[in-house]
Amino acid sequence: MKKRVLLFAALTAVIFIGCKKDENTGTKNSDSLTKTPYTTKTVAQTKADIEQTGVNVVDQMKNLNNTIGLSASVNLLSLATNKKNPPAIVTNTSAANILKALKSYSQTKNVKNIMGAMRKTGSEPVSIVDQFNKIVGVYDYNFDTQSFDSVSSSTNVVINFPTTKDGKTNDGILTVYVPQVKTGPFTYGSQTVTELPTLISFDIKANGETGLSFQFTGTYNDQGVPSNLTSTLTVGTFVFKSVLNYSTSTSDVDFSIKNSTTTIIDIGGGVNGNFDKNNITNAYHYKYDTAYSYYDSYLQKEVYIIDTNKVVDPDKILYNANAHFQLMNIKIAGQVDFKDLYTKMNSIDQQYNNGSITEDAANTQRVALINNDMVLVVVYADNNTMIAKAEAYLKQTNDGTYTSENIDFNMIFADKSKNSLDVYFQDGFDGLYSEMNSFIDDMNTKYGWSIDHVSPPSNK
């Protein structure tokens, strides 16, 4: 069987879907997932609900694409990237990153780009105020020259532009407001920044109505380490929100998309441990030195190298973690006792390596340990009843010459039936793919694109 490195790689997705809190760290130890009751619905009914959830998510995102805020930002970016003399504010700033991500979303339907742009907000390694002051003013789109003209001064950046591709008037206004900062300097390794943003905001109005707004807020300690970073993007009735909290004992992040009060997507996670700089340093130890030599033709002599290998003990830094992933009414939640899992997995490996137990015994103990320290369930978010729970098992595969064992997971349903995830999602989701392709057709028609249809994975 593969060594422990591969085992923990297999568990990574599970650990960061949800982990159990450890009593020894002073945090609350929750066993709520182990007591979650099964739903009374059949496997076929829950499968239909999951497919319908996917259809509902696509429907919600269709509504997003119909908002004036999204279409206006797409057109502004098209003008800025295709025409002459675009204002710098829409080509090389945090505001530009958000607008570009929205344009990318309208083409790919991938919210990861929006998440990434929101996380990067405020990360420019230059003086934010100085850069902003260089581009303040009012800019008008000139239909004759197809460029943006600077027409007057302002304390903000104001851009007047047409909100539609065939528009003949500047009915849209992008306003980027004066940023607020915490003054440094702050040093991060070899890089020094003079300011850190505490407030960045902008909005887009179409015919006097706000179609899109964005706000970033940040708080930091005296060394410039963030304690809270929050980004909120509002497009019509849709709200994208990213929140990061950090301290020397906890860190958590959450990203969500809501339409009014309806949760479309909610992804979050957090860790507890000791993230003090000295503790992290002490968690590393020297394991061994590697010595080797080679002949350097330039120096014309033998060169001797000694590499010192440092190994980190993760259980001295990370104690426990927790997370969730939700699509409308379907939620994946989990608990993993990382500290206990890591410590006992080490013990199993040591027993196997010194010959105290056989490989079969070690594999059996590993699976039992995972199932003891991990709980992973799929639930209905509205009533917290369980659709299925995960169970680790040893999966044997044969490539024709060699049989290997790897840890895999089955989903166990209320009727005690078991299915792997790939088999479960192989069939029965035709309605979801049909809805997604309808969405693509709408986008191709609206923007003149040629996005290909998606299709389910092959059963072969």
Residues 185 and 110 reside in one and the same domain: yes
Cβ neighbours for 67, distance < 8 A, ≥ 6 positions apart: 211, 212, 235, 236, 237, 238
Which of these three, 154, 188, 218, is where a domain ends? 218
At 12 the pLDDT is: 37
> Is residue 126 in some structural domain?
yes
Residue 94 has pLDDT above 80, yes or no: no
> Is residue 166 in some structural domain?
yes
At 121 the pLDDT is: 53
* Paired tokens of 414: 């209320």
Residues 125 and 52 reside in one and the same domain: no
What percentage of the chain reaches a pLDDT higher than 90?
24
Give the range among 10-14, 200-204, 262-266, 406-410 with minimum mean pLDDT.
Answer: 10-14
- 3-class DSSP state of 142: strand
Q: What pLDDT, in 10s, does the model give residues 324-374?
A: 888 899 988 877 777 888 889 989 999 999 999 998 899 999 999 999 888
Give me the mean pLDDT over the 40-56 stretch: 89
| Number of structural domains in the chain | 3
> Is residue 302 in some structural domain?
no
Cβ neighbours for 103, distance < 8 A, ≥ 6 positions apart: 73, 74, 77, 78
Cα–Cα distances in angstroms (integers) from residue 328 to residues 24, 57, 268, 309, in the given order = 34, 7, 14, 46
What element of type H or E holds 226?
Answer: strand 226-235
| 37 upstream amide cis, omega within 30 of 0 | no
> Is residue 389 in some structural domain?
yes
* Paired tokens of 195: 């300011």
Residues 37 and 80 reside in one and the same domain: no
Residues 40 and 150 reside in one and the same domain: no
Residue 442 has pLDDT above 80, yes or no: no
Residues 3 and 20 reside in one and the same domain: yes
At 356 the pLDDT is: 93
Cα–Cα distances in angstroms (integers) from residue 369 to residues 104, 364, 387, 395, in the given order = 43, 9, 23, 16
At 452 the pLDDT is: 79
Give me the mean pLDDT over the 114-121 stretch: 49
Q: How far apart are CA 136 and CA 89, in angstroms?
A: 9
At 239 the pLDDT is: 94
> Is residue 301 in some structural domain?
no
What is the domain range of residue 130?
A: 68-218
Cβ neighbours for 134, distance < 8 A, ≥ 6 positions apart: 88
Residues 124 and 52 reside in one and the same domain: no
Q: How far apart are CA 306 and CA 301, in angstroms?
A: 17
Residues 201 and 85 reside in one and the same domain: yes
Residues 77 and 193 reside in one and the same domain: yes
Nearest in space to 318 (alpha carbons), one of 335, 342, 334 = 342
Question: Residue 419: beta bridge partners?
Answer: 411
Q: How far apart are CA 34 and CA 20, in angstroms?
A: 11
137-142 and 157-161 strand pairing:
parallel
CB 215 within 8 A of CB 231: yes
| Residue 426, phi-psi category: left (phi > 0), alpha (psi -120 to 50), beta (remainder) | alpha
Residue 27 has pLDDT above 50, yes or no: no
In terms of Cβ atoms closer than 10 Å to its own Cβ (0-12, 13-18, 19+), residue 411 is buried
Select, from the ranges 7-11, 61-65, 121-125, 345-349, the one with the highest average predicted confidence (pLDDT). Answer: 345-349
Residues 132 and 174 reside in one and the same domain: yes
Cβ neighbours for 42, distance < 8 A, ≥ 6 positions apart: 414, 415
- DSSP secondary structure code for residue 320 in this structure: E
Which of these three, 191, 218, 245, is where a domain ends? 218
Cα–Cα distances in angstroms (integers) from residue 218 to residues 195, 196, 280, 448, in the given order = 12, 8, 25, 39
Residues 11 and 141 reside in one and the same domain: no
> Is residue 258 in some structural domain?
no
At 60 the pLDDT is: 85
At 95 the pLDDT is: 56
Which of these three, 196, 218, 240, is where a domain ends? 218
> Is residue 256 in some structural domain?
no
Q: How far apart are CA 456 and CA 443, in angstroms?
A: 20
* Residue 126 pLDDT class (50, 70, 90 cuts): low
**Sign of the dihedral defined by the CA atoms of residues 8, 14, 20, 26, in that order:** positive
Q: How far apart are CA 170 and CA 144, in angstroms?
A: 13
Please identify which residue in the block is written with the tokens 């970016």: 77
Q: How far apart are CA 94 and CA 96, in angstroms?
A: 5
Q: How far apart are CA 322 and CA 327, in angstroms?
A: 18
Q: What pLDDT, in 10s, does the model give residues 401-411?
A: 888 888 888 88
Cβ neighbours for 184, distance < 8 A, ≥ 6 positions apart: 192, 193, 194, 195, 196, 224
Evaluate if pTM is beyond 0.75: no
Residues 86 and 214 reside in one and the same domain: yes
Give me the mean pLDDT over the 246-268 stretch: 89
> Is residue 73 in some structural domain?
yes
Residue that wins the pLDDT comparison between 336 and 395: 395
Residue 72 has pLDDT above 50, yes or no: yes
Residue 305 has pLDDT above 70, yes or no: no
Q: How far apart are CA 450 and CA 443, in angstroms?
A: 9
Residues 201 and 75 reside in one and the same domain: yes
Give me the mean pLDDT over the 180-206 stretch: 85
CB 159 within 8 A of CB 76: yes
At 278 the pLDDT is: 83
* Paired tokens of 392: 């680790």
